[in-house]
Structure 1
Amino acid sequence: MPKFQDQDVIEIVRGGSRLLIAPQAGGRLLSWHLHGAPIIHWPDAADWSQPALVRGGNPLLFPFIARHRVDGRIGFWRDAQGVVREMPLHGFARDLPFDAQVDEQGASVHMTLTDSEATHARYPFSFRFEARYRLVDEATLEVGLTTTNTAEPSSDTRMPPHMPYYAGHHFYFALPHTQRSEATLSLPRNVYRHQLADGTTTAPQPGATRYSFGDPQIVDRFHCLEGEPQTPVRIDMPTLNRAIEIDLKRPDSLPWYAVTSWTLAPDADFYCVEPWLGLPDAIHNGLGLRWLAPGQSETATLRIAVSALR
């Protein structure tokens, strides 16, 4: 395996496209470069002692997304039987090592995380969570997330018959902060929500289909999709002569629930555009909460295509 920042990584190359992936660090896509230009941001000096906290790449969010609260305490969730358990921000998958396999052509990597004693205390379910990255061509990346309830059907009524989850992505797209006001985010028809300081989620409000990345109101905004998206999510960066389209309407894919826009600070040279299957605290509020029966499996797929602006 090649080395990157003194870490073992998987490198996927097709034409002028290059992916770096660290399965041992939460199955993390670290970066994507196209003809040397960064599409997915990764910092030059990353703190590998806590890779889940590095601002870059694409952390995989599973089994739940964002923050959860029980009785005002952050980092906890309550199951259907009333048992309260810990759950870190964005779930635990981004902190754990994945098994990985590169295909014979070297164009894709398939990574798998399964339940263990370490996960059962926080999430008492048998599961398999898989992520696949595939370069369709040098400018198109396909990403699939597959979640399986690997439990055997049981007549034991003390065991929960279904497994709750809502997974998602956290893509850090490279965007120099000095160019935010010229860059735009276009969305399918949507309503927007926010999570408030007490953990509750606001009522839906009619959302626009085009925003400037310089608009501070879209930081930490959940753009909840209404119906099947008829257009892709699109990022236009005129100063970079770059357009990025995120196709959320893939054959046989689960419907994506929302696209979240977020950045860390006014001087951060990235902006996150994050397709999610549910909203924060969905285990308590039901907004996008999914359930898998024993033996059931679901896949959510998207494609990211990069092109020059015309």
Structure 2
Amino acid sequence: MSVKLENENIIVKISEMGAELTSVTRRDTGLEYMWTADPNFWGRHAPNLFPIVGRLKGDRYKYRDKTYFMTQHGFARDNEFDLVEKTSTMARLRLVDSEETQSIYPFHFQFDIIYRLTDQDMLGITYVVTNTDTHDIYFSVGGHPGFRVPLEEGEKFTDYYVNVDPTRKYSRSKLVGPYLDNNLDTTFNSDIPLRLRYDDYKNDAIILRLDSNPVSVVLAKLHESHGITMHVQDAKYLGIWTPYGKDAPFVCLEPWWGIADTVDADGIINHKYAINNLAPAQTFTGSYSLSFF
């Protein structure tokens, strides 16, 4: 089932499966900004990542001496959320633990995703994780929205760029296979806009360490007036990704509160690098917003 939000300028559609953002169009231009989920390239639009971001070593982890198995990016994206609150410009969707989730993630939780259109035509996305258990829970969460590039016919992927503000030198994390190797950190200089080139993604995503500092990210065509701006409030990382070797007509901008296992991870969930832990009855909130021009 699709949930629709709208105001005078923007129409937004969200699937209850995974609480996934599937469509954003402007009324004045009819321009569709979200990736179409063509399975020949990548069969998703904007999955929400929970309770892990990235991959676990061997797709497994240990908690209280028991081994659990979980695939890349967790299970939220493949579960039906309940629509618990709705207006014309806001929707709150919710996933709670079940027998099925507890077989791979032995924690009681409530995971809400709130979408809100503002008067400024900005779409806010907020993640709210609540610990409904009697002990600490451990988790990561993140966004993975994909945007059409190019946005209009006659344009090329390489006509577009990504700009990260504030302009400075960011620490860039690198993956070895699917795992993080902190010994390979380099520098990403955002003084120079990142021109989109497929070869830059040969070794997976470009990953910037944000250290919970706010950033704005612009995805747009050079010298033109259409694109997307992402405002990230407090994420630990930002991923920029398109599948290598496919010449795919989209790119993802991914705010993460967590990251893949390190190459030397011991597999114990509470030891996991950049994991979040939450005490009973406490709530975690992470947010980002999108504007479409």
TM over 0.5: yes
d(CA) in 2 for partners of 1:137 and 1:54? 32
- Say which SS state the counterpart of residue 39 (structure 1) adopts: coil
- Give the structure-1-normalised TM-score: 0.80
Deviates more, 1:90-99 or 1:9-18: 9-18
Shift of 1:132: 0.6
Report what 1:157 is aligned to: none
Report what 1:83 is aligned to: 66
d(CA) in 2 for partners of 1:84 and 1:76? 7
Deviations, residues 194-229 of structure 1 (Å, cap 9, x unaligned):
221273424321212131112632541211114623
Report what 1:212 is aligned to: 195
Decide which of 121, 143, 148 is 2:103's aligned counterpart: 121
Is contact 1:145-1:299 (8 Å) kept? yes
Decide which of 242, 247, 255 is 1:267's aligned counterpart: 247
Aligned positions of 1:120-199 closer than 5 A: 120-137=102-119, 139-152=121-134, 161-176=135-150, 179-187=156-164, 188=166, 189=168, 190-197=170-177, 199=179
Matched pairs, number: 273
Q: Does 1:34 align with 2:21?
A: no
Is contact 1:17-1:32 (8 Å) kept? yes
Shift of 1:269: 1.2
- Say which SS state the counterpart of residue 32 (structure 2) adopts: strand
Is contact 1:140-1:304 (8 Å) kept? yes
Q: Which runs of 5+ in 2 are unaligned?
A: 263-268
Deviations, residues 1-36 of structure 1 (Å, cap 9, x unaligned):
xxxxxxx3111121231111111x111111111231
Aligned positions of 1:292-307 closer than 5 A: 292-307=278-293
Is contact 2:47-2:77 (8 Å) kept? yes
Shift of 1:103: 2.6
Which residue identity lines up with residue 158 of structure 2 in the other structure? S
Which residue identity lines up with residue 277 of structure 1 in the other structure? W
Is contact 1:59-1:94 (8 Å) kept? yes
Deviations, residues 67-93 of structure 1 (Å, cap 9, x unaligned):
111xxx3x21223x3322111211000
Shift of 1:54: 5.5
Report what 1:247 is aligned to: 231
Q: 1:42 to 1:240 in 2, by over 3 A?
A: farther
d(CA) in 2 for partners of 1:224 and 1:200? 12
Deviations, residues 152-192 of structure 1 (Å, cap 9, x unaligned):
3xxxxxxxx31111100000011129622221112244211
Report what 1:158 is aligned to: none
Shift of 1:285: 6.5
- Give the structure-2-normalised TM-score: 0.85
Aligned positions of 1:5-24 closer than 5 A: 8-23=1-16
Q: Which runs of 5+ in 1 are unaligned?
A: 1-7, 48-52, 153-160, 250-254
Q: 1:274 to 1:198 in 2, by over 3 A?
A: closer
Shift of 1:240: 5.7
Report what 1:57 is aligned to: 45
